[in-house]
Structures are given as C-alpha cells and as structure tokens.
Amino acid sequence: MPKSNEKKVLVLSAIAVITLIAVVVGATYAYFQAQGGGSSDIDASVITSTTDKLSFQVGNGINISASQENFAQGLGNRTGSTTASAMLTANNATNTATRNYNLYLDIKNNGFTYTVDENTPELILTITDPDGTELESLSGYEHVKVGEVSGFDITEASNAILIADNYEITASPEVTQTWTITVTFINLDSDQNKNTGKTFAADVIIGEEKLATTLADVCTGGETLASCITSLYNERGEEGANGLYLHDGVGTYTNAAEEAGDNSYRYSGSNPNNFVCFGSDSAECETDNLYRIIGVFGNEVKLIKYDYANSNMLGTDGDYNTGIYSGTTSTYRGNLTTINRYHWNNQTSTNTWSESGLNTVNLNTNYINYLNGIDTKWANMIASHDYQVGGNDWANLITTVGKQRYQNELVNPATADVEHAKIGLMYLSDYGYAADPSYWTTEMYREDGQDYRLATTSNWMYMGLWEWTISRSSGNTDISFVVNTTGFVGDYFVSADFRAARPVFYLASAVTYASGNGTIDSPIRLSA
C-alpha cells in the first residue's frame, strides 16, 4: 500500500477513536446525570416505579420506680410515657398502599402488686390511638378510672400485652400513625408501703410480624406440651420473654451465672402465662383444678397446684390435721384444712420422706384416688418420677443462693435418698427460681429481712401461707424446710400444724397441648 494511503487510514482511525471516546464520555456523563436526577431529556421509559415502604419508630422504654422519696403521701402519681409510630409511603405508580402491623407493650419487669384490695387498681395503662382517641377496650384487661386517670388495670401484669392486632394503615401517598402509651402508678394516699422499692420496666414493640406470647401462638393442638413450651421460648429467642428462662448455664442476662445448669426451661417472675386446667374438662376451670407450670425438665412438664389442697383431695387420714387457717381474706384459703409435714405418732416424729403419711397416704394414695374418681385419665397423665429427698443443712440451703442452693439440694444432697413416686412437693430451688432473676442472688432467710421476703411480688409461686417443701433438714431428724407467710424460707418441726401443701408432679411426656393461652381465664387444656 502507498504511504499516502497508510496516512489516511491512520487519520481515519484516530478520528474513529476520538469519536468513540466522545460517545463513551457522553454516555457516562448522561448516566451520572440520570442518576443524579438532572438532564430532563432522559427517556422516562427507563425509570422504574418505586415500591411501598413501611417503617417504624419507637420512643424510649417506660421505667417507673416507687421510693419513700418520690412516692410519699401527697406527692402525686408516678408516670412514664412513650410513643410508637408507623410510617407508610405508597409506590409512585398507584400512589396508594395498605399494610398491617402489630403493636405490643412488652413488660420486662413488674414488681408492683395490689396493696388495698384486688379491686383497687394501682398501675394503669392508658393508650391513645393514631386518631387521638383513648382506647377503652383491650382483650384480657379491665378499663378503669382512678381519680383523673383512666385506662387498663395492669397492676400485676407481666409479659407482652397486644395493643394493636393486625392494625391497618393506608397511605395516598404517605401517612404516619402515632400511638401514645402511658403507664401511671397511682398514689392512693393510703398505705402502699408494700410497693416501696418496686419497679416497672417495659418496651414498645411494633412491626408487621406477630410476637409469640402464648402457647396458642406456636401450637394448634396435638403437639406435646413440652415441645410447645420450648417452641414458645425459641420463637422469641430472648431470655425472659414470656417469663421463660433456659437454664443451660451460658445465659448472659443479669444473674445468669446462677442458672441451675440442668437445661430446664423454667417460668420466672410475677405472673407468667403458665396456668393449666387439670382434672376437669368443664368450660369454666374451677380453682380446685387450676395448676401452674414450674417448667420443662427433659421431655416432662412439671406442675404445681395453683392454690392449696383441701381435705377433699388429700383425705382426713395420713398426716391430716384438724386445724384450719383463719382470718384470711380468701374463703378458699380460710377453709383450708392443714396437714403435718411428716409422720407424727405417739409424740415422736421423723422427717424421712418415705415414712411420711403426707407422702404415702395423703398425696400418693388419697390424691391419686381423688383424680381417678373424676376420670382415670388424669392420674394416668402423671409420670412416676424420682424425687430427691436427701435434704441438706441450713447453711447449704438457706444462706446460699441460686446455683449453689440447687446443687446442694438436688445434685449433692446430704444423703442419697430418692423417692420414686407420682406426687411430691416443691423443692426450695423451685421456689427460688420462680422469682425474677434479679433475686437469684438473694438468700432464703436473713435476720435483717434482706431475703426472699423482698421477692414476694416478683415470684409467681408465692401464695402467702405457711407451706411445706419436700426438702428436709439433715441436721435434725424432726425438722424440714417451709415457706413462711411473708415469703422467706425457714425450718420447722414436722409435727407442726397450720402448714399447707400443694401437690407437685411431672406430666407424662406424651401429654399434649389442646388449647388455651395460659392465663388464669384461659388456662392450658390437655389431652392424653
């Protein structure tokens, strides 16, 4: 090829390269312009539509405390308030959108209780909806008014309270819905010393997903009760949610180091949803048939009778005692016939559980016969179990705390004494772990009162009467441990009268969940 032609080719190639660069630079420039929202000549057909956007925002948690300094007579109420908002922006194609969400008040701790009577609310929840209207209906809670404060009585409430269920929000093109949640501790200008030093703490949870707050949220019927309880724990994945704690020894919450370490799932706190109707299929569960779940141990669920057993269940033989409680506000308890803790005959007594008439006659004969008299299926639901009854001394059970107390009672008792039976009584450690974890480092008894008396409003197992435990004193042959009326645990002669008992037993692993959410008004129903 002639050199002149080669020159032309090079020139044309250079022009082509320059042209290509200009095109590329132009395209790149146009791309950034489009991304930046400039250049009005960009083809609108390449712009995609936006999608609906639902977001949420919550305020700080609610924390209320009552002390002698801030809650004396004439100082007024204690109040905490927060907000929760849902923000919805519609897509730019239709400019309209509808979604749904759920709103909860998740109670982390509530140590308050009734000090006047159970009809006088002291802790009130007031809810204002996005329209500025105060809610007057909330499932499971009574709307009340005390002085100028109106709302729902949550004096002894625990766990999560569902405020808005699948609540609808519609935007065209955008909207914000804001809820106001207020909790008020009412100063009744009366003796409320029982609530001095108590606290209330709660967070607001808002979102599209529902929280699992009862067994009815995780089970539909036919599943084993043990699996339903563990599913409820795992669904939230948060220690203390719904009052459940896994005692695997690796928790990170306050006092988790005091866990039993037995891989049990235990209910703790003031009033978890752990009620069970046992011994009746009636639509309304009578007090005689109410029990509560201590926890899941292996694949068995452990129950304790909600209130104390009367002679209609335990009989008038064995270690029956003709004395009755008196002067109590409850007719049920006031008519309670009490029993001796252990064998009592000819002015001699022993704390050996295998020799106890309460064990062999009242619990494992009369009570079983009572259940069979209703329907044999109930006694058949109860598993035979090994009860550790070796006991220990005062220092190892009363003035120790949490994990060490559990170890001394159940892992390394004073003697290797095991009773294999269907029915027993509660362990000291059952009572100890039923309290909120903040008390797991508390001794069972101290002379200065800094003991389990402090935990009465935070311990669902405390009922307010003298009550026998299954653990005996290893230092005295005629003394066993007992829960006092004020909440501490001490020891007493086994021949003592005016002591109550609540049957405790393990359900067979095959017992299944039928229905119910675990509240006292909707207890869990069972199937065999």
Q: Tell whether the model's pLDDT for residue 3 goes beyond 60.
A: no
pLDDT at position 203 is: 95
- Of the candidates 356, 422, 362, which has an alpha carbon nearest to the alpha carbon of residue 387? 422
Q: Per 3-state DSSP, what percentage of the chain is helix, strand, and coil (rounded to 5)?
A: 25, 30, 45
Mean pLDDT of 215-219: 95
Query: Which of the listed residues 195, 211, 227 is the one where a domain comes to its end?
Result: 211
Domain check: are 230 and 203 in the same one? no
Share of the chain above pLDDT 90, in %: 67
Amino acid at 371: L
Is 434 inside any structural domain? yes
Supply the DSSP symbol for 16.
Answer: H
Q: Decide: helix, strand or coil at residue 236.
A: helix
| pLDDT of the residue at 74 | 67
Identity of the amino acid at 387: Y
pLDDT band, residue 464 (cuts 50/70/90): confident
Asked if 186 and 247 sit in the same domain, the reply is no
Q: How confident is the model at residue 348 (pLDDT cuts 50, 70, 90)?
A: low
Domain membership flag for residue 416: yes
Asked if residue 8 belongs to a domain, the reply is no
Average pLDDT over residues 361-368: 94
Q: What is the CATH number of the domain that holds 171?
A: 2.60.40
CA distances from 306 to 48, 139, 426, 433, 462 (A): 62, 23, 12, 16, 10
**DSSP-derived secondary structure for 465-477:** S-EEEEEEBSS-T
Number of DSSP helices (H) and strands (E) in the chain, helices first: 10, 28
Across 8-22, 31-45, 239-253, which has the greatest mean pLDDT? 239-253
What b/e string do you get for 327-361 counting C-beta neighbours within 10 Å, with b at 16 or more?
eeeeeebeebbbbbbbbbeeeebbbbbeebbbbbb
| Residue 499: band (very low, low, confident or very high) from pLDDT cuts 50, 70, 90 | confident
193 with 223, same domain: the answer is no
**In this structure, what token pair is assigned to residue 515?**
């229905």
274 and 192 within one domain = no
Q: Confirm whether 24 is domain-assigned.
A: no
Between the alpha carbon of residue 91 and those of residues 209, 294, 427, the distances in Å are 22, 50, 60
The answer to whether residues 342 and 319 touch, using CB atoms and an 8 Å cutoff, is yes
pLDDT score for 191: 83
Q: Please report, for residues 353, 386, 442, the alpha-carbon distance to residue 405 in angstroms, rounded to integers and kept in the order given.
A: 20, 19, 11
Rounded CA gap, 449 and 461, in Å?
Answer: 19
**Mean pLDDT of the 351-358 span:** 88
Q: Contact, 318 vs 358, CB < 8 A? A: yes
506 shares its domain with 523 = yes
pLDDT at 497: 66
Distance of alpha carbon 528 from alpha carbon 521, whole angstroms: 22
Question: What pLDDT score was predicted for residue 340?
Answer: 52
Q: Does pLDDT of 327 surpass 80?
A: no
Q: Which of 153, 184, 211 is the last residue of a domain?
A: 211
Q: How far is CA 121 from CA 113, 114, 156, 413, 500, in A?
A: 9, 7, 9, 44, 29
Domain tally, the chain: 2
Task: Give the pLDDT band of residue 323 (cuts 50, 70, 90).
Answer: low
- pLDDT beyond 80 at 371: yes
Beta-carbon contacts of 299 under 8 Å, excluding residues fewer than 6 positions away, are: 224, 226, 509
Identify the pLDDT of residue 498: 66
149 located within any domain = yes
Phi then psi dihedrals of residue 357, to 5 deg: -65, -30
Same domain, 111 and 242: no
pLDDT tens digits, 43-86: 444 556 789 999 999 999 999 988 877 776 667 899 999 999 99
Task: Report pLDDT digits (tens) over 236-251.
Answer: 888 999 999 999 999 8
Q: Is residue 380 domain-resident?
A: yes
Same domain, 252 and 359: yes
* pLDDT value of residue 34: 28
Does the pLDDT at position 261 exceed 60?
yes
pLDDT in tens, 164-192: 999 999 999 999 999 999 999 998 878 88
Which tens digits make up the pLDDT trace of 386-418?
A: 999 999 999 999 999 999 999 999 999 999 999
- 238 conformational bin, left if phi > 0, alpha if psi -120 to 50, beta if neither: beta
Strand 300-305 and strand 320-324: the pairing is unpaired
- Could you tell me if residue 115 is inside a domain? yes
Per-chain mean pLDDT for the chain: 86
The answer to whether residues 389 and 461 belong to one domain is: yes
Residue 3: how many CA atoms within 13 Å on its side-chain side? 0
Same domain for 313 and 451? yes
- Torsion angle (degrees, nearest 10) of CA 372, 378, 381, 387: -70
**Do residue 449 and residue 369 come from a single domain?**
yes
- Tell me the β-bridge partners of 438: none
Q: Looking at the structure, tell me whether residues 257 and 276 fall in a common domain.
A: yes
Decide if pLDDT at 324 tops 60. no
> Given this model, what pLDDT does residue 143 score?
96
In a shared domain, residues 132 and 234: no
Please say which residue of 183, 211, 239 terminates a domain. Answer: 211
| pLDDT for 461 beyond 90 | yes
| Domain contains 382 | yes
Which structural domain range is residue 410 located in? 212-528
* pLDDT exceeds 80 at position 193: yes
- The SS3 call for residue 344 is strand
pLDDT in tens, 95-152: 999 999 999 999 988 888 888 887 899 999 999 999 999 999 998 899 999 999 999 9
Task: Answer yes or no: is pLDDT of 483 > 80.
Answer: yes
